[in-house]
Amino acid sequence: MTRFLTLFANERGELFEHPGLGMLGGTLDSWVLPEPGEMIPLPGGSSLVMVPEHYPVGWDWQHDRAVCLESDPFEGKGRVYAVAALLPQGFTRTYLPVGVVPPGGGLLPLLGYAAVGLRGEQVYVAAIQTDRHHKWHPRYYNTEGLEERIYRRLQASPGNRILKHLSHCARHYSCFTAQNIFYERWEGGIPSMPACNAGCIACISEDHAGVAPPQNRLDFVPETEEIVEVGLHHLTRAREAIISFGQGCEGEPSLNYLRLAEAIRVIREATGEGTINLNTNAGFSEGIRHIVDAGLNAMRVTLFSCDADNYNLYHQPKNYGLRDVENSIRYAREHGVYVSLNLLTFPGFTDREEEIKKLRDFIIRNDINMVQLRNLNVDPRQLQSGLPYGGKARGIVGLLKALQQIKGLRVGSYSYPVPGREGNSCFDGGLKVPEPVQHNG
Ligand code: SF4
């Protein structure tokens, strides 16, 4: 068995490995010793962080038991913390960090903590690469020239509230799709709707579970002209251009269907360039039909589960259900829209046999083009309290393999220009799930 050592940090944030304790990986309802195929060297663009409130736990091989470090094992005193990695886009977490929270301990912030361990001199993370991370590598963002670009753009369009809002997201949340609007490249976000018809547990723009969301929601509904101005500018200037309605700083865009449909029509009368994409929960089928009829090219539907009860438990839908989501997807597919699932992925749940079976049937039944794996950033305790316990899980690598067996399905981590609308891109028509790295440990 390849051994990864437990990593922990002291109160000064100094990082240590424990020579006698093996790293454990967490799932929704278990702790395991990770297999080499579930671990990769920590990729560039990752950050190592302390896990708030969590005492580190490791595996004592000598006595075959889990051990919780309640104080610094080297100094004999002082608080110590579990350590985890935050991954760049393109990597799917296979395990959560393992730790013990003292009674009354608060919930974790909505971040994608992934378990880490040490082997030799190299820090490894419990993850697998599911897409190229070139375009989303942090080194291409928050660059020196960004501020100047934002300033010039706001000067050129002083009345456009969307640009003003996106300048806040670009500066204060380091939002990559907001920054791409100012960099005039790749996927740019255009938020337009404060309201939502769902109450997702881990919503990142509204507090639904007692954890402060990392972003504020926009507080206005832009005019069609404001949407057209930003959209047209991006599609006609950006490399591999995508404009995406449905951002982390808004509610459900399809509720704004009249303005979005009008904006899409006006944009398409002016240019055939690029891809117009909608990130949505697809619950409001009437709105989706209007937007599809207006000329939508791609749609990404966020899903926690293809089991109606588990769907309702997580998304807390208001006046719609999973059946409405399916109807919206079918309508879009019948009208040539490229449809992806934004699969909220949580180790120990999404990879359960029953969940995989229902997901597979859903994909085939609705002719889904792509599955994007999204690490679900939520404290496991918030899911444990509602979800049914157990059920055999295959592991995230097993989930990926199951998806790979579905003919014609693309698996990745983010949206691409729709085939035929790439301009000078490198679209290769379907990412093969990479074989886990063989560790000659
Ligand atoms: S659909 Fe989006 S905006 Fe609405 S509650 Fe869910 S995560 Fe939040």
Look at residue 421 and tell me whether its pLDDT is greater than 80: no
- Which pair of structure tokens corresponds to residue 313? 């438990």
Question: If you take atom 3 of ligand 1, which residue's CA is the nearest one?
Answer: 251
Helical H runs in 238-321?
A: 257-270, 285-294, 308-315
pLDDT the model gives residue 2 = 72
**HEC string of 148-215?**
HHHHHHHHHCCCCHHHHHHHHHHHHCCCHHHHHHHHCEEEEECCCCCCCCCCCCCCCCCCCCCCCCCC
Instruction: Give yes or no for residue 200 CB within 6 A of ligand 1.
Output: yes
φ/ψ of residue 116, rounded to 5:
-130, 160
Q: Whole-model pTM?
A: 0.93
Mutate-to-test residue for ligand 1 from 196, 247, 314, highest number of ligand atoms within 8 A of CB: 196
- Which of 197, 200, 378 has most ligand 1 atoms within 8 Å of CB, for mutation? 200
User: What is the SS3 assignment for 37?
Assistant: helix
Token duo for residue 68: 């919780």
Domain that holds residue 66: 5-129
Q: Which atom of ligand 1 is nearest to the CA of 250?
A: 3
CA distance 272 to 264: 11
Which pLDDT belongs to residue 427? 39
Kindly state the average pLDDT of the residues 24-30: 96
- Domain boundary (112, 129, 146) is at 129
Do 82 and 207 reside in the same domain of the chain?
Answer: no
pLDDT at 391: 76
User: Within this chain, do residues 96 and 197 fall inside the same structural domain, yes or no?
Assistant: no
Cβ atoms of residues 412 and 91 within 8 Å: no
Q: Residue 431: pLDDT above 50? A: no
pLDDT band at 211 (very low <50, low <70, confident <90, very high): confident
Tell me the pLDDT tens digit for each residue of 253-305: 999 999 999 999 999 999 999 999 999 999 999 999 999 999 999 999 999 99
Any domain includes 25: yes
Q: How far is the CA of 436 from the centre of ligand 1 (A)?
A: 33
Mean pLDDT of 374-398: 89
**Which residue, 136, 144, 232, is CA-closest to 190?**
232
List for the chain the helix, strand, coil content (%; round to 5). 30, 25, 50
Query: Which residue has its alpha carbon closest to ligand 1 atom 7?
Result: 203
Q: What is the mean pLDDT of residues 347-352?
A: 97
| 213 and 270, same domain (yes or no) | yes
**Residue range 153-164, pLDDT digits in tens:** 999 999 999 999
Whether ligand 1 lies within 6 angstroms of the CB of 196 is answered as: yes
Number of CB atoms found within 10 A of residue 279's CB: 23
Residues 380/384/386/389 CA torsion (nearest 10 deg): 140
The reply to whether 430 falls in a domain is: no
Q: What is the pLDDT of residue 423?
A: 59
Q: Which of 73-77, 119-123, 260-264 has the lowest mean pLDDT?
A: 73-77
Asked if 155 and 94 sit in the same domain, the reply is no
